[in-house]
């Protein structure tokens, strides 16, 4: 049940009682750091949040430092907040009524050409990693690349190494062909941690039906994203989020759907770009890429990101109510809230344990 909230509808409370409620993408760059946002997640009933804790553009050492810096801040709220990189740690945190923070990376550029860094990222807690963020890198094409060239030879090595290490391959922001090739190549389920169906909203960040079906056939999961631009609804209303969930469930089944809302409390992006540039200048590193290169509009239809809101943690109960009203069973709602992504994590953990036992 939502921590500290005694006014929850009893039917919704029954769904939440003892449930895994996972948010698979919370962008958590230093300019966003606000413990009150995490408190909102906990009050709303979330039990686990996968946070993107890294510098930008991401570097291996910068990501490590960013994680350590935030862990120091989070320690001030240790009575209700903790970190968990395994299902055992996640479950332990939930038993203590704490919100558990996991880690992800929204790029592979931080590994450079050193495959051993994948193991290094795993050791500091990162459990899923995007192959490409919108544009081309050494591994894959992003969703904004017109060429849509697919995985590189090195990218194929990266997917195999992630499988071996037990890190979940994440194809959000990744190009159509690259994602389909990654799903075919991967020996473990591939996820789209935060993406919506293109058929509902024609945006470069969203997925075509063949990507959705391929992901589901491989036992992967798609986390519905709550950014208004990707929903086709500037206000990010709950019924619009449900519309995307319902489409995915009809096409791929409720076992292939989760939540990856990508929540940012305050837009516009333009303000963040200015701050990222200033922070990068201070650190003598590259600044955020030009918006025209990182977010082109080949369809001529997509809403500008900076003009929209995001689905907020507090909308969770309304979303559960909509699923109930449309005949979703308690089991299917729980699958969508967190059980599906939990299954993918469990499979990755078992794969890692198996690989390590074979080496031993």
Bridge partners of residue 83, in order along the sequence: 101
pLDDT at 284: 38
Asked if residue 154 belongs to a domain, the reply is no
360: β partners: none
**Residues spanned by the domain of 225:** 10-122+192-213+220-339
Whole-number Å distance between alpha carbons of 240 and 203: 15
Contact status, residue 89 vs residue 132, Cβ threshold 8 Å = no
Residue 219: what pLDDT? 98
Q: Scanning the structure block, which residue is given the tokens 């990856």?
A: 260
Burial group, residue 281, by CB count within 10 angstroms (0-12, 13-18, 19+): exposed
In this prediction, residue 252 carries a pLDDT of 98
Could you tell me the CATH number of the domain that includes residue 77?
3.20.20.140
Residue 66 within any structural domain of the chain:
yes
> Distance (Å, rounded) from C-alpha 181 to C-alpha 159?
10
Q: What is the Cα–Cα distance from 8 to 127, expressed in whole angstroms?
A: 32
Q: What's the pLDDT at 57? A: 87
Strands 99-105 and 48-52 turn out to be parallel
Q: How many domains does the chain have?
A: 1
Q: Is residue 73 part of a domain?
A: yes
Give me the phi and psi of 253, to 5 degrees please.
Answer: 95, 150
For residue 119, the model assigns a pLDDT of: 98
Q: What are residue 7's phi and psi, to 5 degrees?
A: -105, 20
- Give the separation between CA 11 and CA 25, rounded to whole angstroms: 27
Say how many C-beta atoms besides its own lie within 10 A of residue 62's C-beta.
16
Residue 303 lies in a domain: yes
Residue 255 belongs to some domain of the structure: yes
With respect to residue 52, please indicate whether it lies within any of the assigned structural domains.
Answer: yes
Cis status, amide bond into 57, omega within 30 of 0: yes
- Identify whether 91 is part of a domain: yes
HEC secondary structure over the chain: CCCCCCCCCHHHHHHHCCCCCEEEEEECCHHHCCHHHHHHHHHHCCCEEEEECCCCCCCHHHHHHHHHHHHHHHHHHCCCEEECCCHHHHHHHHHCCCEEEEEEECCCHHHCCCCHHHHHHHHCCEEEEECCCCCCCCCCCECCCCCCCCCCHHHHHHHHHHHHHCCEEECCCECHHHHHHHHHHCCCCCEECCCCECCCCCCCCCECHHHHHHHHHCCCCEEECCEHHHHCCCCCCHHHHHHHHHHHHHHHCHHHEEECCCCCCCCCHHHHHHHHHHHHHHHCCCCCCCHHHHCCCCCCCCCCHHHCCECCHHHHHHHHHHHHHCCCCHHHHHHHHHHHHHHHHHHHHHHHHHHHHHHC
Q: How far apart are CA 352 and CA 178, in angstroms?
A: 24
* pLDDT tens for the 360 residues of the chain, in order: 555 556 789 999 999 999 999 999 999 988 889 999 999 999 999 999 999 999 988 999 999 999 999 999 999 999 999 999 999 999 999 999 999 999 999 999 999 999 999 999 999 999 999 999 998 999 999 998 888 999 999 999 999 999 999 999 999 999 999 999 999 999 999 999 999 999 999 989 999 999 999 999 999 999 999 999 899 998 999 999 999 999 999 999 999 999 999 999 876 544 444 444 444 444 433 344 454 555 666 555 565 666 689 999 999 999 999 999 999 999 999 999 999 999 999 999 998 988 777 776
Q: Is residue 151 part of a domain?
A: no
Those residues with Cβ within 8 angstroms of residue 161's Cβ, 6 or more apart along the chain or in another chain: 115, 118
Q: Find the largest Cα–Cα distance for the chain.
A: 55
């Amino acid at each position: 049940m939502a921590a500290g909230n005694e006014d929850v509808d009893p039917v919704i409370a029954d769904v939440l009682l003892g449930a895994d409620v996972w948010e698979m993408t919370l962008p958590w760059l230093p300019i966003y750091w606000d413990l009150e946002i995490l408190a909102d997640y906990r009050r709303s009933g979330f039990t686990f949040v996968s946070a993107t804790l890294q510098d930008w553009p991401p570097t291996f050492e910068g990501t490590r430092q960013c994680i350590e810096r935030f862990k120091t801040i989070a320690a001030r709220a240790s009575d209700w907040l903790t970190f968990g990189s395994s299902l055992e740690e996640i479950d332990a945190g939930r038993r203590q009524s704490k919100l558990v923070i996991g880690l992800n990376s929204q790029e592979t550029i931080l590994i450079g050409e050193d495959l051993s860094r994948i193991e290094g990222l795993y050791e500091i807690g990162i459990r899923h990693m995007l192959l490409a963020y919108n544009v081309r890198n050494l591994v894959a094409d992003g969703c904004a690349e017109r060429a849509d060239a697919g995985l590189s030879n090195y990218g194929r090595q990266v997917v195999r190494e992630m499988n071996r290490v037990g890190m979940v391959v994440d194809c959000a922001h990744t190009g159509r062909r690259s994602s389909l090739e990654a799903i075919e190549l991967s020996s473990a389920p591939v996820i789209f941690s935060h993406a919506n169906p293109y058929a509902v909203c024609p945006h470069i960040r969203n997925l075509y039906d063949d990507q959705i079906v391929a992901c589901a056939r491989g036992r992967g999961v798609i986390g519905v994203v709550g950014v208004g631009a990707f929903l086709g609804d500037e206000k990010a209303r709950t019924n619009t989020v449900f519309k995307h969930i319902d489409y995915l469930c009809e096409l791929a089944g409720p076992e292939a759907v989760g939540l990856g809302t990508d929540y940012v409390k305050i837009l516009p992006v333009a303000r963040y770009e200015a701050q990222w540039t200033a922070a990068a200048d201070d650190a003598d590193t590259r600044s955020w890429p030009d918006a025209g290169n990182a977010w082109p509009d080949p369809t001529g239809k997509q809403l500008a990101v900076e003009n929209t809101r995001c689905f907020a943690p507090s909308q969770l109960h309304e979303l559960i109510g909509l699923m109930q009203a449309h005949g979703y069973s308690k089991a299917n709602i729980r699958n969508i809230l967190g059980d599906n992504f939990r299954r993918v994590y469990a499979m990755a953990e078992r794969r890692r344990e198996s690989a390590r036992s074979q080496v031993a």
